[in-house]
């Protein structure tokens, strides 16, 4: 299966655009397996997103430019940005606030809402300090269900990224070819898949049981989601859950 998801499917008229990836395949489930929702914010200027709740969501903050001061009900206060990523595991209840520092570059990145493996898990906040902002021409595993990664999802979900230089090509990581479902997201730039599928910024490609080659038409930043649709998940999360 290969299914392109055009950037025209994003919802929202403000600085935060929202993608429910499951709506391209189903009229009763807005997510795909454990991948519940993807937000792509582009926020210019100082902004405060006031303290608000999450319940049964696992939210990975993946910002590529700009920075924000995070504070939450677990007592953490920390600046996050392109080299400091954050995973909030809301579980039974969790509140947080973001103060976006608008001096210089805009805040742009992804807020990734993953469905947890079970309901009402213990809340937890984890930070990841990257050695380099980008992983050039090679996939970098950022999060998984395994203890090998600092970011550990409670569901069968994996997250990779790479910065693919213009003219270079890359295949999927081995895991994504093991009868799992993958979603390739174009964060920046443009790529061509298998020589005939053109994808640009905010486009994505849903695939399963496919061998593909991704070639960068120009410098591109890619995020790859992998989910086991047969794995245990809770679909009732406040934002990651089914929205139909």
Q: Does 135 reside within a domain? A: yes
CATH number at residue 153: 2.60.120.10
Whole-model pTM?
0.95
In a domain, 243, yes or no: no
Q: What is the mean pLDDT of residues 150-177?
A: 96
CA nearest 54: which of 139, 146, 131, 124?
124
For the stretch 173-195, pLDDT in tens is 998 878 899 999 999 999 999 99
Phi, psi dihedrals of residue 122, rounded to the nearest 5°? -65, 130
How far is residue 176 from each of residues 42, 65, 124, 160, 207, measured CA to CA in Å? 29, 27, 27, 10, 9
User: Taking 90 as the threshold, does the pLDDT of residue 96 lie above it?
Assistant: no
Total domains in the fold of the chain? 1
- Residue 240 forms part of a structural domain: no
Which structural domain, as residue segments, surrounds residue 78?
Answer: 2-227
**In a domain? residue 239:** no
235, part of any domain: no
pLDDT, tens only, 29-85: 999 999 999 999 999 888 888 888 889 999 999 999 999 999 988 888 999 999 999
For residue 27, tell me if it sits in a domain: yes
Q: Does the residue 214 lie in any domain?
A: yes
On average, the pLDDT of the chain sits at: 93
Average pLDDT over residues 223-227: 98
Q: Does the pLDDT at position 149 exceed 80? A: yes
């Amino acid at each position: 299966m290969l299914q392109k998801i055009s950037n025209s499917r994003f919802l929202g008229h403000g600085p935060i655009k929202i993608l429910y990836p499951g709506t391209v395949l189903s009229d009763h489930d807005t997510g795909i397996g454990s991948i519940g929702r993807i937000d792509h914010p582009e926020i210019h200027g100082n902004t405060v997103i006031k303290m608000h709740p999450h319940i049964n969501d696992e939210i990975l903050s993946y910002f590529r430019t700009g920075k924000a001061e995070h504070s939450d009900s677990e007592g953490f206060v920390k600046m996050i940005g392109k080299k400091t990523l954050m995973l909030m595991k809301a579980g039974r209840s969790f509140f947080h606030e973001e103060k976006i520092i608008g001096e210089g570059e805009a805040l742009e990145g992804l807020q990734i809402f993953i469905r947890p493996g079970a309901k009402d898990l213990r809340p937890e906040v984890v930070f990841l300090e990257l050695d380099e902002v980008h992983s050039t021409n090679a996939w970098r595993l950022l999060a998984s269900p395994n203890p090998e990664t600092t970011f550990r999802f409670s569901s069968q979900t994996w997250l990779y990224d790479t910065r693919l230089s213009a003219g270079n090509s890359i295949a999927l990581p081995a895991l994504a070819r093991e009868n799992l479902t993958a979603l390739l997201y174009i964060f920046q730039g443009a790529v061509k898949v298998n020589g005939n599928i053109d994808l640009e910024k905010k486009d994505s490609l849903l695939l399963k049981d496919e061998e593909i080659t991704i070639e960068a038409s120009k410098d591109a930043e890619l995020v790859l989601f992998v989910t086991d649709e047969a794995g245990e998940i809770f679909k009732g999360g406040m934002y990651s859950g089914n929205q139909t």
